[in-house]
C-alpha cells in the first residue's frame, strides 16, 4: 500500500470561537481524484487554505510527500507541488492567453514583462505553455486577449495557469461556478482529461458534475468531515441527501 501523498490529521482552523474546520482528517494518494461537497460555510475553502498555507491550521498536522508542512509558507508548499486555481482577478485582461501563461510560468509581474523584448516562450518555457494550452483546450485561442474570450475560457485559463508549476496536487475551488451549461461540459472535459498522475481535490456545488469526475467524495458539514465514500455511496447516503441536498432525493 503506497503512502498518501497528502495527509491531513485532525486539522482545525479556528477563527476565534468559530471552528471553520474542525478535526478534519483526509488523505489523498498520487493521481487520486476527490470531491469535497458541503453547503455554504461548511469549511471547504478554509480546508483548502490550510493545505496551501493561506490560513495555516490552528491545530492538527498537514503532511505532503512525507514532510510536515503544517507551518510551511504558501511559497514552499507551491514549490513542493501543491497548486490551486488562480482567481479570475489574477488574469491580465489586456494580455493574450499565451502571455498570461508565460507570466505564470515565470512568476513575474506584468511590469517586468516587456513586450519590447524578444521575449516569447522558448525551449522549456514553450513546452510548459503549449502543454497547459492543450490540456485546457485553449491552443487555438492562444493569441486572443483575455478581455476578448468568454468567462468559461477565462476559467479554463486559470486552470491552465495553475498547471504551469507542474503540480502533483491541484486544488480546484468551484471551477464551474458561474458557467453556462455548455461551458460546464467543456470544463468537465478539461478536468477529466488532466494527467492521471495529477491528484485532484475538487470543491463543487454541482453534485452531478462533481460525482462524475472523481473516485471518492468527502462531504463536509459545519467544519467536520461528515461522510466519505464512493460517488455511488454518497448518492445513496441519507445523511448527505438530508444535509447537503436539504431534502430526501427520490432517484
Ligand atoms: N478569514 C476568516 N475570518 C473569519 N471567519 C472566516 C474566515 N474565513 C472563513 N470564515 C468562516 O468560516 C466558515 C467556513 O467558510 P468557508 O469559506 O470555508 O466555507 P465554504 O464551505 O467554502 O462555503 P462556500 O460553499 O460558500 O464557498 C464560514 O462561517 C465563514 O464565514
Ligand atoms: Mg468556498
Q: What is the mean pLDDT of the chain?
A: 91
The superfamily (CATH) of domain 1-81+167-251 is P-loop containing nucleotide triphosphate hydrolases (3.40.50.300)
Q: What strand order describes the sheet that includes 6-15? A: 18-28, 6-15, 59-64, 67-68
Q: What pLDDT is stored for residue 68 in this prediction?
A: 98
Which of 11, 44, 50, 85 to mutate for ligand 1's pocket (most ligand atoms within 8 Å of CB)?
A: 44
Cβ-count burial 77-103 (b if 16+ within 10 Å, e if not): bbeebbbbbbeeeebbeebbbbbbbbb
* Phi, psi angles (nearest 5°) of residue 209: -60, -50
Are 100 and 161 in contact by the 8 Å Cβ rule? The answer is yes
Cα four-point dihedral sign 75, 26, 1, 191: negative
| Nearest-CA residue for atom 6 of ligand 1 | 15
Q: How many CB atoms lie within 10 A of CB 28?
A: 22
Are 161 and 89 in contact by the 8 Å Cβ rule? The answer is no
Q: For 159-180, write each residue's pLDDT tens digit.
A: 999 999 999 999 999 999 999 9
> Would you say the pTM of this structure is higher than 0.95?
no
Domain-by-domain residue ranges, the chain? 1-81+167-251, 88-166
Going residue by residue through the chain (251 aa), what tens digit of pLDDT does each one get?
678 999 999 999 999 999 999 999 999 999 999 999 999 999 999 999 999 999 999 999 999 999 999 999 999 999 999 999 866 678 999 999 999 999 999 876 555 555 545 467 678 889 999 999 999 999 999 999 999 999 999 999 999 999 999 999 999 999 999 999 999 999 999 999 999 999 999 999 888 899 999 999 999 999 999 999 999 999 899 988 887 666 544 44
Query: From the CB of 42, is ligand 1 less than 6 Å away?
Result: yes
- Starting from the CA of residue 20, give the closest ligand: 1
Nearby residues of 237 by Cβ (< 8 Å), 6 or more positions away: 219, 227, 229
| Cell numbers standing for residue 223 | 467544519
| Nearest-CA residue for atom 27 of ligand 1 | 40
Place of cell 491545530: 59
Q: What pLDDT is stored for residue 126 in this prediction?
A: 92
Query: Rounded to a whole number, what is the distance in angstroms from the first to the last CA of the chain?
Result: 36
Q: How far is it, in rounded angstroms, from Cα 61 to Cα 134? A: 36
DSSP state of 176: T
- Starting from the CA of residue 54, give the closest ligand: 1
The string of DSSP letters for 43-84 reads SHHHHHHHHHTSS--SEEEEEETTEE-TT--HHHHHHHTEEE
Place of cell 488574469: 91
Q: How far is it, in rounded angstroms, from Cα 63 to Cα 52? A: 11
Say how far residue 49 (Cα) sits from the centre of its chain: 11
Work out which ligand 1 atom sits closest to the CA atom of 205.
Answer: 25
Amino acid at each position: 500500500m503506497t503512502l498518501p501523498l497528502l495527509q491531513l490529521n485532525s486539522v482545525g482552523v479556528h477563527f476565534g470561537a468559530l471552528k471553520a474546520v474542525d478535526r478534519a482528517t483526509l488523505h489523498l494518494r498520487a493521481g487520486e481524484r476527490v470531491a469535497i461537497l458541503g453547503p455554504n460555510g461548511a469549511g471547504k475553502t478554509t480546508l483548502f487554505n490550510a493545505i496551501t498555507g493561506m490560513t495555516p491550521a490552528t491545530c492538527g498536522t498537514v503532511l505532503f510527500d512525507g514532510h510536515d508542512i503544517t507551518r510551511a509558507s504558501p511559497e514552499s508548499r507551491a514549490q513542493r507541488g501543491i497548486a490551486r486555481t488562480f482567481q479570475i482577478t489574477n488574469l491580465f485582461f489586456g494580455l493574450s492567453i499565451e502571455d498570461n501563461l508565460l507570466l505564470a510560468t515565470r512568476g513575474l509581474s506584468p511590469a517586468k514583462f516587456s513586450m519590447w523584448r524578444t521575449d516569447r516562450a522558448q525551449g522549456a518555457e514553450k513546452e510548459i505553455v503549449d502543454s497547459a494550452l492543450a490540456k485546457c483546450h485553449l491552443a487555438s485561442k492562444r493569441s486572443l486577449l483575455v478581455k476578448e474570450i468568454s468567462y468559461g475560457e477565462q476559467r479554463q485559463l486559470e486552470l491552465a495557469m495553475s498547471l504551469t508549476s507542474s503540480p502533483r496536487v491541484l486544488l480546484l475551488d468551484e471551477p464551474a461556478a458561474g458557467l453556462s451549461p455548455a461551458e460546464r461540459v467543456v470544463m468537465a472535459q478539461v478536468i477529466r482529461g488532466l494527467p492521471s498522475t495529477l491528484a485532484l481535490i475538487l470543491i463543487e456545488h454541482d453534485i452531478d458534475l462533481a460525482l462524475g469526475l472523481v473516485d471518492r467524495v468527502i462531504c463536509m458539514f459545519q467544519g467536520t468531515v461528515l461522510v466519505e465514500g464512493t460517488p455511488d455511496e454518497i448518492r445513496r447516503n441519507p445523511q448527505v441527501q438530508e444535509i447537503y441536498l436539504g431534502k430526501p432525493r427520490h432517484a
